[in-house]
Structure 1
């Protein structure tokens, strides 16, 4: 009976340790939101135009949503808070930092959303310069 009690106490201790680690790590979540831009290159979107920024913002929003869902799913399992923090938090913070920088560039460039259903602005195809063939040796150009 003492072996069974000892086994239960060890299991309870391990569970308590996981819960404590989860509580400590989840306390970092609020802090990570404020330092997110530190995990992204501040000059990454300097040369982007509005069309590129719009695509990047949509991509980053989709990735943020995907990571949030993965973190929520991980938190439903045993030791989920720890798994969520270890597996997804760094990516989540980095993506949030990039999204914030892309949003800053969006506002700085005074970009506007493309209305749904509106055709994308057509870009002119590259023009080829008129190239005249070189004269053949011995011929005259008139």
Structure 2
């Protein structure tokens, strides 16, 4: 009877420890948003103009989406959550921090998105219309 009670207490302690760990880790998701800028250089975007910031913000958004897809894919496999954390989380947090700093610089500079029709086309350049020299 004493052995049964002891094993029940150990099991109960293990369950309580798992709940405590889960509770502690659940705060990490929200904390990564506040810690993210700590993983990026705060002065990186100080001298960027709006055109540079626009390109950088798009590149960072693409990279963030790529890392999120990789993390989601990794989590589908066996031990995927661990693989996802070890392989991608640091990069993800660093990119999110850079994106946050780029967004801050964007707002500080009062930048506006370039309208899609204002972007120059990538069509082949046209040949200039040169008139032949008159014959003498």
Structure 1 length normalisation: TM-score? 0.65
Query: CA offset at residue 117 of structure 1?
Result: 2.1
1:47-58 matched pairs, under 5 angstroms: 47-58=47-58
Q: Secondary structure at the match of 1:117?
A: helix
Q: Residue 72 in 1 paired to residue 72 in 2?
A: yes
| Runs of 4+, deviation exceeding 6 Å | none
Cα distance change of structure 1 residues 55 and 107 upon mapping to structure 2, 3 Å threshold: same
Cα distance change of structure 1 residues 76 and 69 upon mapping to structure 2, 3 Å threshold: same
Q: Residue 37 in 1 paired to residue 37 in 2?
A: yes
Structure 1 spans left out of the alignment, 5+ residues: 1-18, 121-142
Give the Cα separation in 2 of the matches to 1:69 and 1:81: 13
Q: What's the counterpart of residue 46 of structure 1?
A: 46
Cα distance change of structure 1 residues 94 and 103 upon mapping to structure 2, 3 Å threshold: same
Q: What's the counterpart of residue 117 of structure 2?
A: 117
Give the Cα separation in 1 of the matches to 2:26 and 2:69: 16
Structure 2 spans left out of the alignment, 5+ residues: 1-17, 121-136
Give the Cα separation in 2 of the matches to 1:106 and 1:50: 7
Give the Cα separation in 2 of the matches to 1:117 and 1:60: 23
1:1-142 matched pairs, under 5 angstroms: 28-119=28-119
* 1:15-48 deviations in Å (ceiling 9; x for gaps): xxxx99x957665232212110000000000000
The structure richer in helix per residue is 2
Structure 2 length normalisation: TM-score? 0.68
Cα distance change of structure 1 residues 66 and 58 upon mapping to structure 2, 3 Å threshold: same
